[in-house]
A and B are shown apart, each in its own frame.
Chain A
Amino acid sequence: GNSVTQMEGPVTLSEEAFLTINCTYTATGYPSLFWYVQYPGEGLQLLLKATKADDKGSNKGFEATYRKETTSFHLEKGSVQVSDSAVYFCALSGNFGNEKLTFGTGTRLTIIP
């Protein structure tokens, strides 16, 4: 079956540091890949997505590239802000995006000023 593995947290960084949160996946066929963000006390929001190999999703300064050869979709941001403190979830939808989402366990990110 489909599965997502993301780096365990918590991750603590100083403001303006470079961020990487690793995500790898196992899926048959051609999944679509997603990053969701959950701010304190809220539900999840879609941050970015990529639907085919070598696609780059981007939003709010965050980027992730769909790497089929390494089955990875790592989240990066060049300079984090305190407002980026949240829990980040990697997810996939199999069969060209026609299946339910499978989520990773989440990575809690804390940015200190």
Chain B
Amino acid sequence: DAGITQSPRHKVTETGTPVTLRCHQTENHRYMYWYRQDPGHGLRLIHYSYGVKDTDKGEVSDGYSVSRSKTEDFLLTLESATSSQTSVYFCAVGPSQETQYFGPGTRLLVL
């Protein structure tokens, strides 16, 4: 257990508004990830980080940005939320790329 928390756990927002999701870890793991989970698609990587201020895009990064100013926090921002971004968002952290511990998820509904 990497002491992972995600906030908020649930959010309802309107189309066009910015939304920021937070992932916090207590173990100082190097790698942090943001995934979205949708029926029929499994888990898809949005962005990931391999260190403070070091981030890179995943397979579904359009419409999302991230920041990591401290080891323990990884923020995911939806710049202008759309209904297609309604999903469950999972943060994962780990000491290596193959070892990942997952947070409890954030359920986001964009109306």
Set of chain A residues within 8 Å of B101, measured between Cβ atoms:
46
Residue with the highest number of chain B CB atoms closer than 10 Å, among A32, A89, A105: A105
Minimum C-beta distance from B30 to chain A (A): 13
Interface SS of chain B: loop
What's the Cα separation between A95 and B7 when bound, in Å? 33
Which A residues from 71 to 113 make CB contacts under 8 A with B? 89, 93, 97-101, 103-106
Set of chain B residues within 8 Å of A100, measured between Cβ atoms:
33, 45, 48, 58, 97
Set of chain B residues within 8 Å of A34, measured between Cβ atoms:
98
Chain B interfacial positions (CB closer than 8 Å to A) = 4, 33, 40-45, 48, 58, 90, 92, 96-105
Instruction: List, sorted by A's number, 30 A–B pairs whose CB atoms are closer than 8 Å.
Output: A34-B98, A41-B104, A42-B104, A42-B105, A43-B92, A43-B102, A43-B105, A44-B90, A46-B100, A89-B42, A89-B43, A93-B97, A97-B96, A97-B97, A98-B96, A98-B97, A98-B98, A99-B98, A100-B33, A100-B45, A100-B48, A100-B58, A101-B97, A101-B98, A101-B100, A103-B42, A103-B43, A104-B42, A105-B40, A106-B43
